[in-house]
Amino acid sequence: MAKTAPVVLTQNISDTQRATSFNHSTDSSSINSQEHSISATDDEIPTIDYSMIFSGDVDQRLKALQYLAYVCEEYGFFYLINHGLPDSVLDKALKGVSEFFNLTEEEKLEYEKKDSADRIRWGLGFSPGDHEAVKREYLKVLPHPKFQGPDKPAGFSKSLEDYYQRDREVMINLAKAVSKTLGFEENYLEKELGLEIGADVSAMNVYPPWFKSNTPIGLPAHHDPGYLVSLVQNVNGGLQLHYKQKWINVHMPSNSIFVNIGDHLEVLTNGKYKSPMHRVILNNKVTRVSVATVHGPSHNTFVKPVPEFVDESHPPKYRGMTYKDSLEANGYHEIDGKSCLQQLRI
């Protein structure tokens, strides 16, 4: 993935603004014990070749689907390569994100988060107890069913819209493949989760180098809602996935998309496919920009373990809830440690 222009975080933000953002911030208090250590391994993360999943060669396609089934069940996260999303679309979106974060404080305050359900929300995350140390700046938008982007900087909204459209096409196709890996017909998840009006939420993040922070945690350990989550970034460095009691560093191959299973697919499959825990560690070398897009069911979809994954030896592990209620209880993915899974687990 091409590098984008360096991002400069706003440093001269007023104290009032700092306090307000901190109160609403997602990452002040809920640091769990695992986060005191930042050590991680470079164990391999599986790679899924999207072009193979949709290959015209039946043998190749079946093998690729078998591997996808294994990866979803065993890991719940993977690098997606050969996905067909043009580099130019991705680079433009990431460049726009950097440019947005480089707007003046005054310009960004126009989008300041007032309510968790706002269509456009900008905010800052601070180091615990230190309102001076910005460790994360974010901008959240709702790409689907109806996208609305910030009107500044010029062209940014269009670049984002183009990216979200292509990203969504890839994720919907992946949902078809995942449906098959679960033994269903390919449109199963689209129908079951009402994806035609699926509610997507995207978080654009920028993490400054960590020397200003009293903790190296950029984003505390959490799970994502939704069925699938896609993530792209300007540079490697910081994202870690929890797997088999260890943290693994993400080193995305260039032009790949990082994909993880979301909480609501874990619920639907009664825990067969797992939504992985992940976090972001600050690094002292580069300013990293990421775009994490949660692809969700429609708001009124009642998500519960479906009968195919429930029997006497597999009793339901989660209770059902509409996606909207689940998101509301989770503060619209505010990453405060109360994941949707925790609320739904029986």
Ligand X SMILES: O=C(O)CCC(=O)C(=O)O
Q: Which residues bind Fe ion (CB under 5 A)?
A: 224
CB of 244 to ligand X, least distance (A): 20
DSSP secondary structure string, 217-286? EEEEEE---SSEEEEEESS-SSEEEEETTEEEE--PPTT-EEEEE-HHHHHHTTTSS----EEEE--SS-
Could you tell me how far CA 199 lies from the centroid of its own chain?
13
CB of 143 to Fe ion, least distance (A): 16
CB of 140 to Fe ion, least distance (A): 12
CB of 250 to ligand X, least distance (A): 8
Cross-strand partners of 281 = 217
Contacted by 93, from Fe ion, ligand X, none: CB < 5 to 8 Å by type: none
Residue 199 or residue 203: which is nearer to ligand X going by CB? 203
Residue 118 or residue 190: which is nearer to ligand X going by CB? 118
214 contacts: CB under 8 Å, gap ≥ 6: 127, 128, 129, 130, 133
Residue 181 or residue 339: which is nearer to ligand X going by CB? 339
Residue number closest to Fe ion, CB atom: 224
Contacted by 341, from Fe ion, ligand X, none: CB < 5 to 8 Å by type: none
* Cα dihedral sign, 263-267-273-276: positive
CB of 198 to ligand X, least distance (A): 17
36 contacts: CB under 8 Å, gap ≥ 6: none
CB of 240 to ligand X, least distance (A): 9
The region, left, alpha or beta by phi > 0 then psi within -120 to 50, assigned to residue 336 is alpha
**Given 99, 167, 200, 224, the residue binding ligand X (CB under 6 A):** 224
Q: Is residue 94 involved in binding ligand X (CB under 6 A)?
A: no
Residues from 285 through 344 that contact ligand X (CB under 6 A): 290, 292
Count of residues that bind ligand X according to CB under 6 A: 10
190 vs 196: CA distance, rounded Å: 7
Could you tell me how far CA 136 lies from the centroid of its own chain?
15
DSSP secondary structure string, 313-344? TB---B--EEHHHHHHHTTTT--SS--HHHHH
Q: Is residue 200 involved in binding ligand X (CB under 6 A)?
A: no
Contacted by 277, from Fe ion, ligand X, none: CB < 5 to 8 Å by type: none
**Given 53, 124, 193, 219, the residue binding ligand X (CB under 6 A):** 219
Residue 20 or residue 343: which is nearer to Fe ion going by CB? 343
Q: Is residue 205 involved in binding ligand X (CB under 6 A)?
A: yes
Do residues 10 and 105 touch, judged by C-beta distance below 8 A?
Answer: yes
DSSP-H helix ranges across the chain: 15-24, 50-53, 58-74, 87-101, 105-109, 156-181, 188-192, 263-268, 323-329, 340-344
Residue 224 or residue 266: which is nearer to Fe ion going by CB? 224
210 vs 127: CA distance, rounded Å: 10
Residue 64 or residue 252: which is nearer to ligand X going by CB? 252
Residue 75 in tokens: 């890991």
Residue 180 or residue 242: which is nearer to ligand X going by CB? 242
Residue 103 or residue 239: which is nearer to ligand X going by CB? 239
Residue number closest to ligand X, CB atom: 290
Given the rule CB under 6 A, which residues bind ligand X? 203, 205, 219, 224, 231, 239, 278, 280, 290, 292
